[in-house]
Amino acid sequence: MTATDIRPSSDTLLTTKAPVKRSYGQYIRWLLLFLGGIAMVMPIAWMISTSLKWPHEVYNLKLIPDEPTIENYTYVLEDGRFYGWFMNSIIIAVITTVSNILFDSLVGYTLCKFKFPGRYIIFIAILSTLMIPTEMLVIPWYIMSQNFGWLDTYWGIMFPGLMTAFGTFLMKQFFETVPDDFLEAARIDGLNELQIWWSVAMPLVKPALAALAIFVFLGNWTAFIWPLIVTNSPEMYTVPVGLSGFGDEADVAWELIMTGAAISTIPTLIVFIVFQRFIIRGVVMAGLKG
Amino acid sequence: MRLRQNLTIRQKHILWAWGLLALPVIFYVVIRFYPTGNAILLSFQNWNLLGDRTWAGAENYIKLWHDDVFWKVFRNTFVYLLLGTPISLVISFLIAFHLDRVRFMHGFIRMLYFLPFMTSAVAMAWVWRWFYQPVPVGIFNNILASFGIPQINFLNSTTNALPAVLAPAVWAGLGFQVIIFMAGLRAIPQSYYEAARIDGVSGFTILTQITIPLLKPTIIFITVFSSIGFLRIFDHVFNMTTNNPGGPLNSTKPLVLMIYDTAFNGFNMGYAAAQTVVLFTVLLCVSLLQLYLLRDR
């Protein structure tokens, strides 16, 4: 009786079941795939390697620096701006993620488990917002932010993403797997609807919540166009917006630009390496269900 | 209190539902639907963000029709789509197809392919921009030089810049597509393959007669997903051409960058809104095409 009982068995999608013959072809296949994979991570490896080089070593394209240094990181972080951008990005991504976890699942749950007039219309209306590109909304959002004084504030950066139709749809799909009997039993025990949602249904869809959290966090961590538009003062920049300006300013100091790029990339890489299986399962779930 | 007691269970149920949905419904109306309407309305008006909004009729659309830059940008946007989507589809299918047959270090190799998906487009645009620099800075030109091949001018050439900007976008998206393709491949029942093997069918026939037809929903999903991504390309272009966004000579400028420029550098809000309506229409057509193709699954 745990969450694992209800979780869709996407694990089976991730284990090899095709019979594999040992042959030369098979070795060549492995070697090519392996080399391709190494090539895929080369840009990331080179970025990190260069961020650990002294300026005079940058033109030496060796992957392993001769005299590795963290001087670039000290320089970039002592400057103070990156630290501020980093904190801004963390705050915005965390609040947005929490908001999506709460509201997307609440809406998904209500649309899935309540029968009421207007249910279908609300579902279609929310789903239809998937068709509206962010780029179409940035101008009205900007006007709105200007009228209400939201420009250059955290709220201004994050208000458009507090709920998403994608998350709502994903959660609705997963609440379908929660048996109505469980909810009915809780109702008989005297829990109110909010308590049933929070303490009965939510624990049963934890894997979906985790997948949603990762997507929303990653999406907000890397978001560029809206933070670029809504922020004016450098103190309010997020990491991508700050990095974009920093790159221009650093001009040919590529070791510093690579350090900035590494600072913006390393957190998500660590998240990925720690939660690897989980994230890949999440991508599969979202891709197939969403 | 009396009122609450008099409600039937069904009425309470409905009240709960609307109570739980109240805040989200307000959010969707105010942050999604109202702005959509406002953008469409604005596309028929002229406004410089300071004065009054004045009615312009179809003026913005007529101007768009006669704007050479717009057609250039429109073409660029579709070049991104028409190059990016097929290339990433074929590469990711090949990787997924073969990775599916590999067991040794399967998880590790899969991780290598997926890692770029977790990066930020802005950071990677700067990394690739560095790769494209002329000798002695850029890696690509250094490799060419070591083989004695003449230098390639990547980002400052009107012909090479667009593919150069597209490459990191394709690279970053591959891992996601590989994972989705592998899930699609695993969903094909093994019995089909066994039956084909018993019948002595060749590997190529199995691929074209079983694997690809059964992957149709996966292929459509990935095609539409990546098409929408390429039609909305912005981060890479903006960051790889910051000294002259969309340059050289607008040769890399996509629609979203034109919208950004028109609205937030030119403050021609009505004209920019008209461009967003065009983008919306194009994306809507792509999505409807997906629904149409998936209808008889």
Complete domains list, chain A, with CATH: 21-69 (no CATH), 81-289 (1.10.3720.10)
Across the interface, whether the CB atoms of B238 and A119 are under 8 A apart is answered no
CB A217 within 8 A of CB A202: no
pLDDT band at A25 (very low <50, low <70, confident <90, very high): confident
Residue range A130-141: average pLDDT?
91
Q: Which residue has the tokens 């900035």?
A: A260
Is the pLDDT assigned to residue A135 strictly greater than 70?
A: yes
Q: Which residues of A touch B272 (CB under 8 A)?
A: 139
pLDDT of A9 reads: 40
Q: Do A265 and B98 make contact, defined as CB atoms within 8 angstroms?
A: no
Structural domains present in chain B: 2-42 (no CATH), 62-294 (1.10.3720.10)
Give pLDDT, residue A89: 95
Angle at A224 between CA B141 and CA A122, to 5 degrees: 135
Kindly state the average pLDDT of the residues A19-36: 83
Mean pLDDT of A244-270: 89
pLDDT band at A3 (very low <50, low <70, confident <90, very high): very low
Which residue type is seen at A89? Answer: S
User: What is the mean predicted confidence (pLDDT) over A111-127?
Assistant: 90
Q: Give residue-wise pLDDT tens across range B178-194.
A: 999 998 898 888 888 88
Provide the pLDDT for residue B54. 86
Nearest residue on chain B to A266, alpha-carbon basis: B119
The pLDDT of residue A22: 67
Closest CA to A235 of A141, A181, A154: A154
Nearest to B96 by CA among B222, B193, B199: B222
pTM flag (> 0.90): no
Would you say the ipTM is above 0.85? yes
Residue A17 has pLDDT above 70, yes or no: no
- Of A166 and A9, more confident: A166
pLDDT digits (tens, 9 = 90+) for A56-73: 887 777 788 888 888 889
The token duo for B164 is: 């150069």
- Give residue A12's pLDDT band: very low, low, confident or very high (50, 70, 90): very low
B132 touches chain A (CB under 8 A): no
pLDDT tens for B127-178 read 999 999 888 888 888 888 888 888 888 888 888 999 999 999 999 999 999 9
B-contacting residues in A 124-143 (Cβ below 8 Å): 125-126, 129, 131-143
| Chain A positions in Cβ-Cβ contact with residue B126 (cut-off 8 Å) | 243, 247, 257-258, 260-261
Q: Which chain B residues are within 8 Å of A273, Cβ to Cβ?
A: 111
Residues of chain B below pLDDT 50: 1
Nearest to B115 among A40, A197, A229 (CB): A40
- A78 token code pair: 């002592």
B269 contacts A133? CB cut-off 8 A: no
Query: Bigger pLDDT: B50 or A86?
Result: A86
pLDDT at position A228: 95
Half-sphere exposure of A253 (CA within 13 A, CB side): 13
Selected residues 198-237 of chain B with any CB under 8 Å from a CB in chain A: 221, 232, 234-235
The predicted structure's pLDDT at residue B156: 86
